[in-house]
Structure 1
Amino acid sequence: MVRQTARSERPKRMRRAEPGPGFEVDPGPDWRHYEELDLPPLLDAALEEFRAHGYHGGSIRAIASRVGVTLPTLYYHYGSKQGLLVALLMGSMHDVLARSRHALEEAGDRPEDQLANVVESITLYMAHRRRIAFLDGEIRNLEAENRERYRAEREQLSVMLRRIAADGVEGGVFATDYPTEAARAVLSMCQAVATWYRSDGPLTEVEVAQRYVAIALDTVGHRWRDTGEPMRAR
């Protein structure tokens, strides 16, 4: 039987895993397209354990058992249960950022198109990748240094939306008096999709994204250039 070794007793050769890049191949201009997510076995087992029992309730021994590896093997690759959570969170954030950057680049110079694309990208990610995206709620269980690193990555999404909102106000196409708060509200709305969306529900991922684009444009007070009417998602 393998004994679970205390962190202070682990051999020095065992290391904490630094979070690598994301789990997906960079989608490039095809940022709306999703394939089934294929995680490394230990991370897949950790994700299922955290989904079933939460981070605190999840057992490092159960994660190793799901894959059929020894605890020293798990410790070698990820250092601890904390290392597994960090790798999952950082990998997921890498992927949603990559897709959103491509969406922004595709949108061109108009703030309304930029907002529509970025909101669509984030919402599609949260719906298609809800199995892993829900873990954002576990950031409270990250150690201080890991939490700050993750928040710094997540802040890039917030900055992207704040810049779009500010540019839209400056250009006269968004009427909100509170672009920073509006951008924050839009991001929170999109991220929450991972907590409630179900593929067997009444809306497809695309339909949810279309509705959220319309809600986001309403939130920033979008003014349609030609008619004066708010633009609606198509």
Structure 2
Amino acid sequence: MATNQEEVSLLGVTGSPFVCRVQIALKLKDIEYKFLEENLGNKSELLLKYNPVHKKVPVFVHNEKPIAESLVIVEYIDETWNQNPILPSDPYQRALARFWSKFIDDKVVSAAWKAVFTVDEKEREKNSEESWEALQFLENEIKDKKFLGGEEIGLVDIAAVFIAFWIPIFQEVGGLELFTSDKFPKLYKWSQELINHSVVKEVLPPRDPLFAYFKARYESLSASK
């Protein structure tokens, strides 16, 4: 647990997969923190002060020291609090975990988003294919492990919460088949393990309001065609 001398707060918005990553890490480590809900339409002075470069959430603040970018924050949390390690101790395995986490951000997150929330049909198709290709790499990588990190949740699983929870909402909103149990049986099984894990389950945002939010966004996009 974070001691009373330590001030830990998180600037974020409910429903963000990137904020959720940090919340999972904090929950795994059993660290108490203050959650400061941001309004991204009217960003607080605190957010602009703590993250002047990107002006985005999440921002993690530990004893008045701000850190931005979700994967950087998760690594910082892991290095600062020793209990329940998130990254492997072996340098090679740790490097691999960083590689796959970055792969998820570079190859899966933006492609899956654009596959649904892009007006141009060709662009949608291109991004759907890119999503399938990227997910296939992860399908091959998981092999017979329970989690992408092994038997316990690790950095890659935390990064991939976007795949397990957000992509199924996106595909339902857009009527697409991006991530199904037929196409990716091992990864789909992993996704069910992850979203039903006691720690993850506790910090995932409620699905219905999130679905309604993305549905409205999708419909306004379709109307603008």
Q: Same fold (TM over 0.5)?
A: no
Normalising by the residue count of structure 1, what TM-score does the alignment of the two structures yield? 0.31
Larger Rg: 1
Which structure shows the higher helix fraction?
1
TM-score for the superposition, normalised by structure 2: 0.31
Higher strand share: 2
